[in-house]
Amino acid sequence: MKTNNKLLKGFLQNILADEKSQNTADAYECDLKGFINYISKEYHNNSITLDDADKTFFQNITLEQLNDYKNRLFEDGKSPNTRSRTVSALKQFFKYLHKTAKVITENPTEELTKVKIPSRNPVILNKNEAEKFLNSVTGEYKVRDSAILTLFIHCGLRLSELIGINLNHIKGDVLTVIGKGNKQRDIYLNDSCMNVITEYLKVRTEIEGEKALFLSEKNQRISKSRVEKLVKKYIGISGLDTKKYSVHKLRGTSASLMGKSGVPIQVIQKVLGHTNINTTTIYVNVDEESMREATRINPLNKISR
């Protein structure tokens, strides 16, 4: 948190206390700084600095000014996702000023419309591509890397969750994951996961005091950047597009493969740690054949009148 603005800092602290991620707080901070600077420039001749934007500054914000900024983002070529996040940041910030900080009597963002994001199919690996990816592992750290890729594909872990796994987080076939907002969830490991972890533990160097499951070449907890690089490496070896696929795409792949295998969407939601089931539905498509099968297996199907 880099801001010295008291109201903005209070909002960001509130965001983190509400179990939002640091990445979300950082993005909102950037969005709101951009908005404050725009209002200062367009309506105050740059006479108000970011740190000087006080309750009087925000009390004078109107819906018209908010829409002006929203339109400016569009004119500047900002993506729908960026504009949508900015509107969300504005709505939550002014709600905080109104309901929590109580420095404004009316919330001008209540009538600020959301940005529509065009629907698009998620970029994920299909079953054959996922198999090629898992079979692409080679090199000196093959056993470790195989375990990492397998957990990504089978468990749908976030990058931060994978590197945060400690040895004591695995008990039998249960992996305890520390997710967003420091929330814990248990994931049951299948045979493939158990096998690769067992093999990796045979070669993992014992370092006194080091609790991390996955170690780097320097025998320290492996970093995000190192995992991202090795994932890109094996995507390339698999013959896939390294610009198209990433660590996060493996998470979507995991959700999609579970869905195609008949796993209920509510279960997939819990495995991935999604707060909102709508996020899960992005990756789980229900096709016509699945719907036909659902009616066919109804236990009352054989009853006729």
Residues 244, 96 share a domain = no
Residues 136, 65 share a domain = no
Q: Which of 82, 111, 140 is the last residue of a domain?
A: 111
For the segment 15-31, the average pLDDT, to the nearest whole number, is 86
Q: How far is CA 292 from CA 71, 262, 266, 274, 281, in A?
A: 45, 13, 20, 28, 19
Residues 229, 134 share a domain = yes
Q: Is residue 298 part of a domain?
A: no
For the segment 228-235, the average pLDDT, to the nearest whole number, is 95
The yes-or-no answer on residue 283 being catalytic is yes
The yes-or-no answer on residue 251 being catalytic is yes
For the chain, the distance separating the N- and C-terminal CA atoms, rounded to the nearest angstrom, is 68
Q: Is residue 120 part of a domain?
A: no
H-type alpha helices, 76-222: 80-95, 127-134, 142-155, 159-163, 191-203
Residue 18 — very low, low, confident or very high, per pLDDT cuts 50/70/90?
confident
Q: Is residue 302 part of a domain?
A: no
Q: What is the pLDDT of residues 159-169, one digit of tens each?
A: 999 999 999 99
User: Which one from 83, 85, 144, 274 is the annotated catalytic residue?
Assistant: 274
Residues 134, 101 share a domain = no
User: Which one from 180, 185, 233, 260 is the annotated catalytic residue?
Assistant: 180
User: Which one from 85, 158, 204, 249 is the annotated catalytic residue?
Assistant: 158
Residues 282, 202 share a domain = yes
Q: What is the pLDDT of residues 64-73, one digit of tens each?
A: 999 999 999 9
- Residue 234: pLDDT above 70? yes
- Residue 99 exposed, middle or buried by CB count within 10 Å (0-12, 13-18, 19+): exposed
Q: Give the CATH number, domain containing residue 23.
A: 1.10.150.130
Q: Give the CATH number, domain containing residue 274.
A: 1.10.443.10
Q: Is residue 304 part of a domain?
A: no
Number of domains within the chain: 2
User: Which one from 96, 141, 245, 283 is the annotated catalytic residue?
Assistant: 283
Q: Which amino acid, one-letter code, is at 137?
A: V
Q: Are 122 and 283 in contact (CB under 8 A)?
A: yes
Task: Please give the residue range of the domain that contains residue 88.
Answer: 6-111
The pTM of this model reads: 0.61
Residues 189, 86 share a domain = no
The yes-or-no answer on residue 248 being catalytic is yes
Residues 24, 136 share a domain = no
Q: Is residue 300 part of a domain?
A: no
Residue 297 — very low, low, confident or very high, per pLDDT cuts 50/70/90?
low
